[in-house]
Structure 1
Amino acid sequence: MPKYEEPSGLPVRLLSDPEMIDACRERDFPQIFSLAKRRGGFHASLIARRCDLTPSRVGEVMKGERQIRDIGVIERVADGLRIPGHMLGLARREWETPKALRADAAHVEQRGPLVVADQRPAVARAVPGVDLDSILAAASGPRLSPSTLRALHASIEDYWRRDDEHGGEVLRPAVVGQLRYVVEMIKETSDGDLRRDLYRIAAELARLTGWTHFDARQYSQARTYFTEALQLAKAIDDRQFMANVLACMSLQATYEDRPADAVALSTAAQDTARGHGGTPRVMAMLTMREAFAHAAMNDPSAAKAALAEAHRQFDQTSDADPDPSWVTYFDEPKLIVDTGIVHSRLGEAATAEPLIAEVLQRGHGGNQRGRAFHAFWLATTQLQRGNLDQACHTATVALESATGVGSERVTGHLREFQQRLAPFSKEPAAVMFESRLRAMLS
């Protein structure tokens, strides 16, 4: 009797089948699992083992009794069944590149881009190579002055503004390059005050890089850079910035469906800032992250206690407070809309709707991603209240804002809203929204 061999992944013929392509594009996991079982040789227990799920959960998904929305679980399904990342709206998976090519890529990353001379565009021939660029930078040496530091801080502010307007995917190479440049300057600088300022700038750049990965739902890379930011801030004992990074990691944990970790990280952030210059605005922002985490755990009592503390802290803010620049975004509208989002997460739509609607009506300047997020949450509360037409109209506002922003988090929320429309799939408003969403995703 021939020995049974488990399939290493779904066969190419199935992955290229229009039925599977459509199921992946819609993230229709009942259909994906069914096709994997019927035509890919993956029985339910094998799917469970490969995707790090329980067999009962796989069975419930296949019956349509449970949904898969968490991006971490979606990534495990992609890796377990060997579904290419682009089919599920994910970044390219590491296993999609053969080991030999990954090794070559690592070598190229260390040495600079490999360019075939005869195929280079004419303009590239006038640009120095990476190695030469590094040599020239080393020869000139760091030319540090207060104006240099101000310029670096100004560039970070500009990066954040453009991240809000367009998303961070395109910005990331420039930010990473500047981060590595500043780290090299730290190594070559002996002046204590200048080194401290450079550490602070490097920490801000590392956090920004982590944020761009988080916004793209590339969570492993985000953790790497958040950890680097934490270490850079710790090197100069900047407890407030350490708390800021921990708050970012707490928010990411809520997206990864790790609410207990999110609570621990948010409370650690508060403990880190408390007694080390944490202004009322800083403490209000950190406590709001705790409220998010408790709401993700569906703990209304703890979430509302954290909300009350966030509002109490915010009421103590003053223009005279020495607030760090990275927390100035947490203003009154942000406090109000975040309060509404916490209530929405708790299923308290009647309380949430007017709060989110108020801030959405105020406008967001150039922050297209913020407008898209808030429109999504308003649409969610309207759907919770049974106002289908209004919810779909508001979700379309979110979709329109999302078209100008490269943010997988925004796209993920829009897909989540689409899944919530399943009971109304034949209603005209739902059909129209789904049509527009498909057009955007294509």
Structure 2
Amino acid sequence: MPKYEEPFGLPARLLSDPEMIDACRKRDFPRVFTLAKRRGGFHASLIARRCDLTPSRVGEVMKGERQIRDIGVIERVADGLRIPGHMLGLARREWETPKALRGDTVHVEQRGPVVVPGQRPTVASALPSVDLDSILAAASGPRLSPSTLRALQASIEDYWRRDDQHGGEVLRPAVVGQLRYVIETIKETPDGRFRRDLFGIAAELARLTGWTHFDARQYSQARMYFAEALQLAKAIDDRQFMANVLACMSLQATYEDKPADAVALSTAAQDTTRGHGGTPRVMAMLAMREAFAHASTNNRSAAHAAIAEAHRQFERTSDTDPDPSWVTYFDEPKLIVDTGIVHSRLGEAATAEPLIADVLRRGHGANQRGRAFHAFWLATTQLQRGNRDQACHTATVALESAAVVGSERVTGHLREFQQRLAPFGKEPAAVMFEARLRAMLS
């Protein structure tokens, strides 16, 4: 009888299958484990052993009775089943790097693509393996030029546009891949202008990756990438970008219900760039972030003072200011709507409503997440003022935009609105909104 050999990792044909790709992207581990068992040769006890789980837990996950959300467990699943990190929204795993790039000897096994008779080859079968691709890239070395740097910067701007339109979860694997490529290029680039520019690009990619995790409410991963962005910016003493990252971390702290941290991070952001090239637009954005932080502690006087400082700084802006590209989004409508949101957070609905409504009427172009987010806050102020029918109508506008953008942060706000409707749950407008929310979530 031939000896049974345990599979080393999931076969390439399964990892390139659209069903497995979709299951990994959604972190649908009941499907991942079921596919691993049926088509990858991983029975439940083997999955448990490789992923450092109990067999009973694996069985419960496969039945849909338990979920896997802890990032540490997700990393063990990736390593145990040899699922590339990008498929699960993780950083590149150590075992994905070829031994040749780790300084060890490497044995390259030559093998042809597996073709099943009568089956069309997949796209993946026509591509080089990850290991071979990395080896060839390392052998060719970086070919840097001003046009290369412009192309990398343009791709970041495109990622942000697509993040606004569709959410960042789908973009994340591509962004992480580009981040790791830039970091490897930095290691091979001598000191000089190109190296400094590469550090700046890597910092922006790390912040974008952190933002996509934050928007998905995956806070531990977001914090890791924000910290990486901070270190990359610090390496080239880019004080303005360091302040930008600290401001992102402050906003995340408000969502994690850590108001003291939010205030400390927002004030540190301003201290970091004050007197070190911070333009009026940058300082206005940072002051508004401080206002958000104070609102989370319900400190009215401090929040109002921060709002006043944001408006004072914004009045000093000029078209000739050397604003970094990442702050150009903070225009007059953004200043106005953020002012309204801070007032709403403080319970000052009468002041907040006309500010948010004015910006919502102006439109958001392709920024579906911004439209959903602002519609939620307008609905919240309307509900605070007792206009329940109008609030439900506005919240439905938020639902329409939320349905086309993958943002757990926006979805979470809509669930909060549903909870605030609970005392009025039998009213027709509330019943209709809840039905539409359930339909969207399903």
Range class of TM-score, shorter chain? 0.7 to 0.9
3-state SS in 2 of match to 1:438: helix
- Provide the rounded CA distance (Å) in 2 between the counterparts of 1:105 and 1:355: 51
What amino acid is aligned across from residue 152 of structure 1 in structure 2?
L
Which residue does the alignment assign to 2:55?
none
Deviations 1:72-110 (A, max 9, x none): xxxxxxxxxxx98x9999973347669577544478843
1:93 equivalenced with 2:93 (yes/no): no
**Distance apart, 1:122 and its partner CA:** 3.2
Asked if structure 1 preserves the Cα contact closer than 8 Å seen for 2:68 and 2:74, the reply is: no
- Provide the rounded CA distance (Å) in 1 between the counterparts of 2:386 and 2:356: 17
- Provide the rounded CA distance (Å) in 2 between the counterparts of 1:243 and 1:390: 39
Q: 1:110 aligns with which of 94, 106, 122?
A: 94
Which residue does the alignment assign to 2:229?
229
- Provide the rounded CA distance (Å) in 1 between the counterparts of 2:191 and 2:398: 49
What amino acid is aligned across from residue 363 of structure 1 in structure 2?
G
- Provide the rounded CA distance (Å) in 2 between the counterparts of 1:248 and 1:240: 13
Which residue does the alignment assign to 1:151?
151
- Provide the rounded CA distance (Å) in 2 between the counterparts of 1:150 and 1:265: 31
**Distance apart, 1:112 and its partner CA:** 4.1
3-state SS in 2 of match to 1:278: coil
Mapping for residues 414-429 of structure 1, pairs under 5 Å: 414-429=414-429
What amino acid is aligned across from residue 180 of structure 2 in structure 1?
R
- Provide the rounded CA distance (Å) in 1 between the counterparts of 2:272 and 2:370: 28
Give 4+ residue runs of structure 1 displaced > 6 Å after superposition.
Answer: 86-91
3-state SS in 1 of match to 2:377: helix
Deviations 1:145-184 (A, max 9, x none): 0000000000000000000000000000000000000001
Which residue does the alignment assign to 1:256?
256
Pick closer, same or farther for the CA change 1:333–1:101 going to 2, 3 Å.
Answer: closer
What amino acid is aligned across from residue 370 of structure 2 in structure 1?
G
| TM-score, normalization by structure 2 | 0.77
**Distance apart, 1:394 and its partner CA:** 0.1
Which residue does the alignment assign to 1:219?
219
**Distance apart, 1:261 and its partner CA:** 0.4
Asked if structure 1 preserves the Cα contact closer than 8 Å seen for 2:379 and 2:394, the reply is: yes
1:376 equivalenced with 2:376 (yes/no): yes
- Provide the rounded CA distance (Å) in 1 between the counterparts of 2:295 and 2:432: 31
Pick closer, same or farther for the CA change 1:220–1:116 going to 2, 3 Å.
Answer: farther
Pick closer, same or farther for the CA change 1:101–1:264 going to 2, 3 Å.
Answer: closer
What amino acid is aligned across from residue 220 of structure 1 in structure 2?
S
- Provide the rounded CA distance (Å) in 1 between the counterparts of 2:250 and 2:65: 25
Which residue does the alignment assign to 2:342?
342
What amino acid is aligned across from residue 294 of structure 1 in structure 2?
H
**Distance apart, 1:219 and its partner CA:** 0.2
Asked if structure 1 preserves the Cα contact closer than 8 Å seen for 2:113 and 2:125, the reply is: no
**Distance apart, 1:139 and its partner CA:** 1.6
What amino acid is aligned across from residue 70 of structure 2 in structure 1?
R
Asked if structure 2 preserves the Cα contact closer than 8 Å seen for 1:112 and 1:129, the reply is: no
Which residue does the alignment assign to 2:207?
207
Pick closer, same or farther for the CA change 1:397–1:125 going to 2, 3 Å.
Answer: same
What amino acid is aligned across from residue 241 of structure 2 in structure 1?
F
C-alpha RMSD over aligned residues: 2.5
Mapping for residues 189-338 of structure 1, pairs under 5 Å: 189-338=189-338
3-state SS in 2 of match to 1:214: helix
Pick closer, same or farther for the CA change 1:150–1:94 going to 2, 3 Å.
Answer: closer
What amino acid is aligned across from residue 335 of structure 1 in structure 2?
L
Which residue does the alignment assign to 2:131?
131
| TM-score, normalization by structure 1 | 0.77
- Provide the rounded CA distance (Å) in 2 between the counterparts of 1:159 and 1:111: 27
3-state SS in 1 of match to 2:394: helix
Deviations 1:25-44 (A, max 9, x none): xxxxxxxxxxxxxxxxxxxx
For structure 2, which runs of at least 5 residues remain unmatched after alignment? Answer: 1-59, 86-92, 98-111
Pick closer, same or farther for the CA change 1:265–1:362 going to 2, 3 Å.
Answer: same
What amino acid is aligned across from residue 219 of structure 1 in structure 2?
Y
What amino acid is aligned across from residue 128 of structure 1 in structure 2?
P
- Percentage identity across aligned positions? 81
Deviations 1:260-312 (A, max 9, x none): 10000000000001011000000000000000000010010100000001100
- Provide the rounded CA distance (Å) in 1 between the counterparts of 2:348 and 2:294: 14
- Provide the rounded CA distance (Å) in 2 between the counterparts of 1:231 and 1:179: 14
- Provide the rounded CA distance (Å) in 2 between the counterparts of 1:87 and 1:423: 32
**Distance apart, 1:135 and its partner CA:** 1.0
- Provide the rounded CA distance (Å) in 1 between the counterparts of 2:65 and 2:397: 24
Pick closer, same or farther for the CA change 1:317–1:88 going to 2, 3 Å.
Answer: farther
3-state SS in 2 of match to 1:248: helix
3-state SS in 1 of match to 2:144: coil
Deviations 1:193-224 (A, max 9, x none): 11000000000000000000000000000000
**Distance apart, 1:125 and its partner CA:** 1.3
Which residue does the alignment assign to 2:28?
none
What amino acid is aligned across from residue 229 of structure 2 in structure 1?
A
3-state SS in 2 of match to 1:366: coil
